Amino acid sequence: MSNPFSLSDRTALVTGANTGIGQAIAIGLANAGATVVCAGRRECGETVEHITNMGGAASSILVDFSDPMAGQDLFQNQNIDILVNNAGIIRRNDALDFTESDWDDVMDVNLKALFFTTQAFAKSVVNRNAQGAVVNIASLLSFQGGIRVPSYTASKHGVAGLTKLLANEWAAQGINVNAIAPGYIETNNTTDLQNDPVRNKAILDRIPAGRWGQASDIAGAAVYLCSPAARYVHGAVLNVDGGWLAR
């Protein structure tokens, strides 16, 4: 019997794969058998080395998604079957003091680049009459408001909405579009929260699992959503949050 979670003979492109959640997802997909292209505005050499050292196949390309159209040519010369849109940034400030620059910078990377990169991927898949899978990285702030991150919250609400819209349009064309909403994960983006004793305690007190998540906790969900096991899953936003939203 074939393994429904196997990604052998599939090629995946993971954005923001140089560290954190993106790195963990890239390694997880490679463990499941995929060839992985690691894309980011910084070199992804550490991720590629980890994958190749465990016997997998990986490569790295530099792409700066602060240019929302930077992903337009990524799918022209190679057959990519899986796209994981992980690249993202965050800006923190009170809403009364939030700047236009901090708004635009976040929306460009987290939402506009995500849409146009995914559009380019889908065109490639449809033109090849192939099967494709998209996994977007949403957030708990796709469902909640949060504080001091207005552009991030708006962008992640947008990611959840786009995930559903694209699933509606592309499910019948053989493209699965889903998202993962990570909870509080120990990454560079959450360092300030981890180091704030008041916020850190408040966060831990609400998480039923009693701990911050690890980037590797997201990898299994990504493998599932990219695999044949999730072939009939379209437009889902899967919470991987230690039970936060169930509280």
List, by residue number, the catalytic residues.
Answer: 152
Instruction: List, in order, residues 6 or more apart from 101 with CB less than 8 Å away.
Output: none
User: DSSP per residue over 136-170, as a string?
Assistant: EE--GGGTS--SS-HHHHHHHHHHHHHHHHHHHHH
User: DSSP per residue over 193-206, as a string?
Assistant: HHH-HHHHHHHHHH
**Euclidean distance between CA atoms 44 and 236, whole angstroms:** 29
Residue showing tokens 């901090």: 102
For the record, the structure tokens of 204 come out as 């831990």
For the record, the structure tokens of 210 come out as 């009693």
